[in-house]
Chain A
Amino acid sequence: MRHGFFIFLILLGYAVPCFAQDTLPQAEELYRQGRLSMALSLYEKALKNHPNDPFVYYNIGNCYFKMGSKGLAAANYYRAFKLNPRDPDIRHNLSLTLASGGERLVPTGVPEVLHRAFFSLSLPELTGLLFALFWLVCLYVCLWLLKRRGRWVLLITGSLLVICAGWWYARTEQDNQPLAVVATPVAEIRSGPGTNFPASASIAQGHLLTIEDEKDDWYEVIVKSQSLKGWVEKSTVEKI
């Protein structure tokens, strides 16, 4: 009896991921048939088993894009981009979606090559590179302390470590910056957290917002592309 119970548990353990795997081809088939909302619900279910899979976010973004919800599409592409910034498809779809809302992935004035270089590694990869350089510098410090040798190599690796640390800091700051995207056709920006404050602007779906603060059902946001600061209802935006 006990054996049977354990075998059942083991089978269940295998069956659950198998079921989750099966939903993805099914979702793709639904997407191909144009049954987007059903495909979307399957991808969102799959996300529970693949919480850090950039390609699941990418596919969710595609579903939203095809359903006309460009704001939600942009939010999911952005999540995928954070996890896998080198993927050309993610970059393309995110750029296209942001462009439809009047936003740019590469900030104005920044060369495309520099932007691509800055996002050539994901944050865990960049952290790994930082660690590796740190360990190398430590080893060379020890060598120099014990043997008084390898001074130039130590200087070069130390300089690389400083540069990498700066890069890592900038990426971490950017990744930790709370962003949101307008998810409804239009969001109103008000001068305070309430409908009793006058609306100063309306902003279309797909615009990127930087969240500065929050109060009840409202976010204080900055629209960098428009140099605008104000409050929007939480229900009108999707936090990335």
Chain B
Amino acid sequence: MRKKIAFLILFLLFTIPAAAQVLLTATTDKTALTLDDELTLTVRLSGTKGNLIMPQLPSLPAFNVYSRQVNQSSINGNNTLLFRYTLLPRFVGKTTIGPVTFNYEGNTYKTEPIQIRIYRDSSAVQNTPIQSVSPDGNISSNQEQEISANLPPLEYSLATQASKHREPFFTIAAVSNQNPYVNQEFTLAIRFYYSQAFYDAPYQKPTVSNLFLEDAGSVDGTQSINGVLYRYQEQRYLLMGAAPGPATIGSATVTYHVSMSPLSALDRFFGSAMREERKSVSSPISVNIRQLPSGQPASFYGAVGQGYTFHASVQPAKVEAGEAVNLTATVRGPINLKSTRDFPFPNIDGFKSYPAAAVSGNIPGANNTIQSYKTFKTVLVPVASGIYTIPPLEWSYFHPGKNQYLTLTTQPLSITVTPSTQTEKSFDFAANHTIGSGFQTLGQDVRYLKTSYAPKELWLAQLSQWKIINALMLGLVACCVLFASFGRKSLSQRKAFTTARTKLKKAQAETEVAEAVATYLQEKLRINTGSLPLKEITTALAKKGVRPATAEAFSLLWQRLDAARFAPAELGAQSTMDLSAQALDVLVLIEEETK
């Protein structure tokens, strides 16, 4: 029993929202009219699925149904249907349009009845408070109003222009923005006003330059201008500036036929009245297209406007490696997004990416406005298992009101990829990179983080800190160079006497004495005794500062040494010692005198 109740509750939970989604409304453009006039009954049906299903009109004995229009739009399979019936009154008096009924999935939906008054002439109508319902659902008073500066620019301009006319037929045109930016969408409205009946009015749309023009539908309405009740047909266009600079919108022409005799309902069917062709022309409009400010972000793809939304989704979020995932990013906004550049998906690590063409279109938005959308899709195929995160995606637009670029960011998306249960061939992405059997390259990624820091450098790096040593080394080299050039000479000179004295003391023969003296003269005074005669040696000694007496003593010594070298005799050790002592005495004198 409990289970049954639970099932019943669940069933109700599912069925109630489904039933609640269907909406049926019926509205008329006026609640009072004359016999010459016509009434538009608009039936709006939304929330149904599947094939087009017609609502059932009530019995309308006071009207003839003149024409019927059907508009259909669909979002995610949910249909929105708009039925417009033109009704021609038949009798004067008060009548009621009964409930429009609609049967759907076993439920019956009904609209509220509408009271209508039909008069013989328009004076009575003008005294009746009329509520007109425009096709977009907005209810507005038809009584003449003061033109308020608070009106939107387009409505204000239309109202201002219309107030200047009194003729029964006229056409006006206005734009919602005189200084739009490049790619900023704005609206052109062309209204053909009439206060008298007419036959068909072929409409010729205006020519434009430096603008993209797109049809945005038409609406009918009623307006009291200067005490006269007018009806109007309004044709709307969406415009977009192509390039910075002036742009023009040419005149729109409406060609209409008026009857030369009073029009009756019968005339409408048989067209028996006499007609005259007339033309109504709107004034041309000039617009200045502004250039977008600099500093466009990288994620700016040309959208200008406001009220955008940007979201991304993945479907499915859990797959096996090698299976496809749809990554979809959708931008929605109030303006046409068709002309914006496509959003490029970034490369996502670990996935092969196969982008698809972007899809754009229009859908009905809130308050019967038109919303534009553009959907970007890419198919991602994960090459290996793991949990992947799609980074936030960015899409920027220019907000004319704030005069700045704004960026929309999606939430990061997570995809769980489990290892493939398929055979290897089923997702052999890198067949060319197969190395050996059982090894397959799946992709490349950066290597993981470093978890230890401050790596040690070679000891050589420490040496680079010791720059002072360079200077020391250069100083050392300089010292060595100086020493080699000058120091070595004085040192050898200083050492010459000591060396000679040692040699003389150790001399065993006259030749050793002679060699010691010759070496002394060579090293101390740079006098080469081998190639010079004695006279030149003594002259050289004199030049070095040796006194004549000492030079004479040296001459005697040198002669004795020559005799010993060139005419050696058997001399005893005593003679060698004498010679050595004599040489030492002479060298002492020379040493003292040449200091």
Contact = CB atoms under 8 A, between A and B. Distances in A.
Interface of A is mostly: helix
A93 B344 CA distance: 25
Interface string B434-476: 0000000000111111111111011111111011011001101
Contact of A55 (B455, B459, B481): B455
B564 to A, nearest CB: 35
A122 B483 contact: no
B346 interface: yes
Central interface residue in B348, B412, B453, B470, by most chain A CB within 10 Å: B453
Assign chain B's interface to a size class: 35 or more
Assign chain A's interface to a size class: 35 or more
B389 interface: yes
B343 to A, nearest CB: 11
Given A122-B457, A125-B460, A184-B298, A139 B481 contact: no
B480 interface: yes
Interface string B54-82: 00000000000000000000000000000
Contacts of B349: 66
B459 A128 contact: yes
Central interface residue in A73, A124, A185, by most chain B CB within 10 Å: A124
B138 interface: no
Given A53-B453, A68-B391, A84-B455, A93 B470 contact: no
B451 A28 contact: yes
B464 A124 contact: yes
Nearest to A89: B447
B484 interface: yes
B477 interface: yes
Contacts of A54: 455
B403 interface: no
Interface stretch (A10-18, A57-65, A103-111, A222-230): A57-65
Contacts, number: 117
Contacts of B444: 96
Central interface residue in B455, B464, B474, B484, by most chain A CB within 10 Å: B464
A89 B460 contact: no
Contacts of A66: 349, 391, 446
B432 interface: no
Contacts of A97: 446
A63 to B, nearest CB: 9
A92 B450 CA distance: 13
Given A62-B449, A68-B346, A125-B461, A142 B455 contact: no
Given A28-B449, A55-B454, A134 B483 contact: no
B435 to A, nearest CB: 17
Contacts of A139: 473, 476
Given A66-B349, A96-B444, A185-B298, A55 B458 contact: no
Interface of A: 24-25, 28, 31, 34, 36, 50, 53-56, 58-59, 61-62, 65-68, 73, 84, 87, 89, 92-93, 96-97, 100, 121-122, 124-129, 131-132, 134-135, 138-139, 141-142, 145-146, 184-186, 195
Given A122-B457, A185-B346, A195-B294, 8 more contacts: A34-B412, A55-B455, A68-B346, A125-B457, A131-B466, A142-B480, A145-B480, A146-B484
Counting from the closest, the 9 A-B pairs by CB-CB distance are A128-B463, A128-B460, A55-B450, A127-B464, A138-B473, A145-B480, A124-B461, A128-B464, A142-B480
